[in-house]
Structure 1
Amino acid sequence: MSNVIQLLPDSVANQIAAGEVIQRPASVIKELMENAIDAGATNIQVITRDAGKSLIQVIDNGCGMNETDARMAFERHATSKIREASDLFALQTMGFRGEALASIAAIAQVELKTRREEDDLGVQINIAASQVESQEPVQCPVGSQFCIKNLFYNVPARRRFLKKTSTELRHIINEFQRVALAHPNVALSLVHNDVPMFSLPAGNIKQRIVNMNGKQMGNNIIPIDTDTVMVKITGFIGKPESAKKTMGDQFFFVNNRFMKHPYLHRAVMDAYDNILQPETIPAYFIFLEVDPQIIDVNIHPTKTEIKFEDERAFWQLLNAAIRESLGKFNMMPSIDFDTTDQIHIPVSNHEGELVEPTVEVNPFYNPFEEERKQPVSSYGSGGTATFRSKASAQGWENLYDGNESNELPDFSALANSEMEKQEPSFEPNEQEQEPVQQTFLSGGTNEESAGSNRFFQLKNRYILTSVKSGLMMIDQKRAHERIIFEGFIRTLQRGASLSQKCLFPEELHFGPEEMAMVNELKPDLLTLGLELQQVNDETFSVLSTPAGLENVSAAQLIDGILTDFRDGEVDLQKEVTEQVATSMARRGAIPYGKVLTTLEMSELFDQLFACMVPNFSPSGKTIISIMDMDEMQKRFM
């Protein structure tokens, strides 16, 4: 029997490794930029075509490589940064595994030109599918030039899983921004399809944030700076009023390495507790400097997840640092002490005398006069209430007239005598109304009672109404989403948009990534009634908005749409339009917590059941739930 176990060829092993390290074109750019920074580059250029599918070019002015190192760099597990296992816990560089270049060469056509400063000539190497096709001397500047063509050309199944150009470009921008923020002392540029997208000069971290996100960001962030024995925390956090519903401006860095850490993100959100608008997220650019021995960066192939030795301690320190910064810059709500009815303490004047406070006293004030003026209820008191009002009118001192002893008068006798003088009446008068028992959610006999009892709003979130089978519960926000969505769909089917011109056009400011997304979605937004005009490289002007969306501003609407599309994976044009309609419906629907009148609930009910699909929201969530009579009866057994 032949042997079953055998070693994989290097080319196949490299393709398997590429599936972990190289997920998309953005992964190639990340690895090459980090290698350039480790090589000491002060200027890095990134050039892409078709979002990296056909071309990725990374040019740096780093130290370069000689002929032997250039050839060895494409071997698997070849690295200049690790000599033994203990080096993994003292890492200060970006790349270290030695899998990146080998993985890239396994699934693309790679050309490398590199030269050291002390060499007269450089070397050019061409590799395709892990096979070296040529190696020869070449004249080139100091540094390295990587040219990656036709990514996944020899793995068609992987190439089919790549998303459309705009989606892959967003991932490239995300990776570029992470490297740019971690290394503000390095000049960086990004060009896509011959269009410059970023040109970031070297500077400090705040200049890098402003150059990357737009000038308005500089006015919306405050510094954070805390130094402890365990960690040094620096960077910038967003002001509460500038928080957005859009994710994307949240960055954590540990020893200048970008990381994703949901646990520490909760520490940030907890520090902003009670000072943010609902469902908004502040921007933050936080840098942690720690001892490399207390973290593990080797738990994920892309090195974006980091394990801390004591995460709870880091959580507390980060939370306290953010609270301190918010308080230092008066971002926390101040305590406003009310001075109404406060006791006045006399203070001395210049002559040493006390200033006597002015107090007005009414010697004829009778506290029982107010009680006599108030209407008297007979429920639960009978004639005793009448007696008390008369006793108050006479004054309590009259009850003691003629009583020379220290004994108290017989109040029960007085009460009985007063009760005998007045016949008790049980008929309701103007001030005494017989209590009326109202039936909850029951049908009335007239139009007014039927309208008032048909619907009931619970917790300003659900609409309850009685139906034949039991009790119907309607989610008011999802119901309104369905109504708006189907209205948009009918508009698209008619081929005409319903919009209203803005009397005073609103200006919206975006970063480069958001500008690319808005330009991509402009045709679909215009179809649905939202007309935008680009003013400059970071500003759009809102010319018209969809009719019927009074609950949301254009800024909130665009912000919500960008949130939905930031990680959206939509390919077909029809699906894009429907996705925009879904997002606009979600942002334009009445929010939870809004009090609805009976008429509004009735109209919402009627419009919902006029929809084609009244049971589910555009995103597929349940709108209607019915509790039948059998289930209700079981609750009372």
Structure 2
Amino acid sequence: MSDIIQLLPDSVANQIAAGEVIQRPASVIKELVENAVDAGSTDIKVIVKDAGRTLVQIIDNGCGMSETDARMAFERHATSKIRNANDLFAIRTMGFRGEALASIAAVAQLELKTRPHEQELGTKIEISGSKVENQEPVTCAPGSNFMIRNLFFNVPARRRFLKTNATELRHIVNEFQRIALANPDVTFSLNHNEQVLFNLPTTNLKQRIAGVMGKNSNAQLIPVETETSVINIHGFIGKPQAAKKTMGDQFFFINNRYMRSPYLHKAVTSAYENLIQADHCPPYFLFFEADPSIIDVNIHPTKTEIKFEDERSVWKIVSASVREALGKFNMVPSIDFDQTDGIEIPTFRKDEPVAVPSVSINPDYNPFEPESTRPSTSRTSSSPVSSNWESLYEGFETSGDDFWRDDEPEAVILPSRENMEEPESIKQVTLPSSEGSDRTETGTLYFQIKNKYIITSVKSGIMIIDQRRAHERILFEDFLKNIQSGASVSQQSLFPEEVSFSEEDAILLREINQDLRIFGFELQEHDNCTFAITGQPSFIKNVNATKLIDAILDAFKSGEVDPENEIKEQLAAIMARNACMRPGEVLSQSEMAELINKLFLCTAPNYTPSGKTVFSILDNEELDKRFR
């Protein structure tokens, strides 16, 4: 039998490695910017075109590379950070495997210009699909300048799997934010299609968070500072009111390396128990400092998952640190023992005489006397009450005419139904039944129970309607009708509200701005990701436009909205769910009548847009069974 096992060519091996390391343009930025940080750069510029499909350029002022190092950096497993296996357990740098540049060069057209600070000439290298096409001396600035063009040009299947430019740009922003947050002492900038998205000068951590996440986040931060023998923690957590339904503002860093940890995420959220809603998540930016020997960063190809030697202890420390920070800033109920008018606890000394406790009483007090004739004097005594207590009941001896007799009890008179006031939790209204409709009987009563359900009688039994879901269904179909007819009307705001978003949210808002305009939203973008809401849908009442837009953005980020499908219908469902009446809302008779009539004019009154049941019928047979 002939030999069939062969070594893969370097170009093929590099493409396989690229499948693990380079998943999208954001992966290129992650690898190269982390290398720039490791090179000691103090100023890093990221330039992107067409969300990284056409160009990704990273310019830094780091240490640069010599001619030999520049050529060797593109070989597989070539690194300056690992010398032996023991070094894997003492890693404090970002990259260390030595596969990033080889993987990028395998699936793109790459150009590198680099020069050490102590040399006058630098080196220029051009590589396409792992093949070195040119290498020559060049005059350039100290540091490194990487230009990656036409990513996945030789792997068209991978290129077809890339998402829309807006989606890929959001991934780029996410990777950029993680590195920028971990290095506030480095100046960062991000440009996309000649538009400045981020310009972050050197600053402290709190200001860096505000620069990355939006200026409104600054007032929502609570500092965390803990030092233990296992791990040190510093950073910031968000106030309970800053919690959101979707994740995105949660960051863990270990030795300045971003990491994911669902286990430690639960440690943080457990500290917010009873402070936020169950389906909400608080923002946090927590930095861990630990001995590299107690962590393992080499358990995942992207190096974002970290394994701790003693995870249980770390969990307890994280949870206690967050609870302590919330308590210090009065985010949780606490007893203040520093009050000047605090509780005085008496002390007992052996040499002090023990006095018999005394009470102040008035033995002449008669509760049946008018207040004006009562004696106002009182005396302090430790003796029992005087024995003339029988005098209190003088005048109560009566004949049978004054009080009821044992053999003839007085009848208890109940108020009539006409005079009885109904409880607020039950309201009724009589609705005329539609001609040709068998859903209700003529003169049917509608009852609102617990400010949540509307109950009515139908021919087949009893119908129970969820009023909030009914309103959601009505709004959804109203949105669709307005879209189809193009009749959406925007109510202009006399004083437009200005709202600041993070760069990720701003990118998404620019993408869906035209769709929001169809519903009646009018948004004008100002500088620094600030938008002015100049108009909102006219038929939405008592709804905060900012919260409604936040809910739409959260739906996009959580994947609830699929941009590949009909986006207008999905937006209509989200807006209907967030614009419908609040839970527990009390309805007047006219409001209840209008709600029920509109519901049964809908094309599908049975279910909400998400498929939840709007009403249920308890049939007559089931009612009969319950009373047998």
Interval containing the TM-score (normalised by the shorter chain): 0.7 to 0.9
Distance 1:16 1:396, change over 3 A: farther
Partner residue in 1 for 2:312: 312
**Secondary structure of the residue that 1:418 maps to in structure 2?**
coil
Partner residue in 1 for 2:549: 558
Residue 635 of structure 1, CA deviation: 8.7
Distance 1:634 1:128, change over 3 A: farther
Contact 1:455–1:598 (8 Å) recurs in 2: no
Point out the more displaced range, 182-191 or 498-507: 498-507
Number of residue-to-residue matches in the alignment: 581
What are the residue-to-residue correspondences of 1:240-279 with 2, within 5 Å?
240-245=240-245, 247-276=247-276
Q: Alignment partner for residue 365 of structure 1, among 364, 367, 372?
A: 367
Query: Partners of 2:45 and 2:283 in 1: how far apart?
Result: 27
Contact 1:245–1:279 (8 Å) recurs in 2: yes
**Secondary structure of the residue that 1:175 maps to in structure 2?**
helix
Contact 1:54–1:149 (8 Å) recurs in 2: yes
Partner residue in 2 for 1:35: 35
The C-alpha deviation readout for 1:402-452, integer Å capped at 9, x for no partner, is: xxxxxxxxxxxxxx99323x3x5768555999x9xxxxx9x9999899988
Query: Partners of 1:580 and 1:174 in 2: how far apart?
Result: 24
Query: Partners of 1:596 and 1:41 in 2: how far apart?
Result: 63
Unmatched 5+ stretches in structure 1:
347-355, 368-393, 402-415, 436-440
Residue 630 of structure 1, CA deviation: 7.1
Partner residue in 1 for 2:579: 588
The C-alpha deviation readout for 1:384-408, integer Å capped at 9, x for no partner, is: xxxxxxxxxx97668999xxxxxxx
Contact 1:444–1:450 (8 Å) recurs in 2: no
Partner residue in 2 for 1:376: none
Distance 1:329 1:123, change over 3 A: same
| TM value normalised by structure 1 | 0.80
Query: Partners of 1:59 and 1:361 in 2: how far apart?
Result: 95
Residue 359 of structure 1, CA deviation: 9.3
**Secondary structure of the residue that 1:179 maps to in structure 2?**
helix
Contact 1:456–1:465 (8 Å) recurs in 2: no
Distance 1:333 1:16, change over 3 A: same
Partner residue in 1 for 2:608: 617
Query: Partners of 1:9 and 1:466 in 2: how far apart?
Result: 78
Does residue 1:89 correspond to 2:76, yes or no? no
Query: Partners of 1:233 and 1:23 in 2: how far apart?
Result: 32
- CA RMSD across the alignment: 4.2
What are the residue-to-residue correspondences of 1:154-193 with 2, within 5 Å?
154-193=154-193
Does residue 1:119 correspond to 2:106, yes or no? no
Query: Partners of 1:313 and 1:330 in 2: how far apart?
Result: 26
The C-alpha deviation readout for 1:583-626, integer Å capped at 9, x for no partner, is: 22222122444455666455444433322333443344554555
Distance 1:3 1:547, change over 3 A: farther
Contact 2:430–2:443 (8 Å) recurs in 1: no
Residue 249 of structure 1, CA deviation: 2.3
Point out the more displaced range, 498-507 or 238-247: 238-247
What are the residue-to-residue correspondences of 1:160-559 with 2, within 5 Å?
160-245=160-245, 247-276=247-276, 280-333=280-333, 363-366=365-368, 418-420=405-407, 422=408, 424=409, 428=413, 430=415, 454-455=446-447, 457=449, 474-559=465-550
Distance 1:96 1:472, change over 3 A: farther
Does residue 1:71 correspond to 2:62, yes or no? no
Query: Partners of 1:133 and 1:180 in 2: how far apart?
Result: 34
| TM value normalised by structure 2 | 0.81
Partner residue in 2 for 1:407: none
- Give 1:489's aligned amino acid: L
- Give 1:419's aligned amino acid: D
**Secondary structure of the residue that 1:77 maps to in structure 2?**
coil
Query: Partners of 1:326 and 1:563 in 2: how far apart?
Result: 26
Residue 465 of structure 1, CA deviation: 5.3
Contact 1:452–1:598 (8 Å) recurs in 2: no
Contact 1:451–1:598 (8 Å) recurs in 2: no
Residue 264 of structure 1, CA deviation: 2.1
What are the residue-to-residue correspondences of 1:94-109 with 2, within 5 Å?
94-109=94-109
Query: Partners of 1:255 and 1:121 in 2: how far apart?
Result: 35
Residue 131 of structure 1, CA deviation: 2.0
Contact 2:227–2:233 (8 Å) recurs in 1: yes
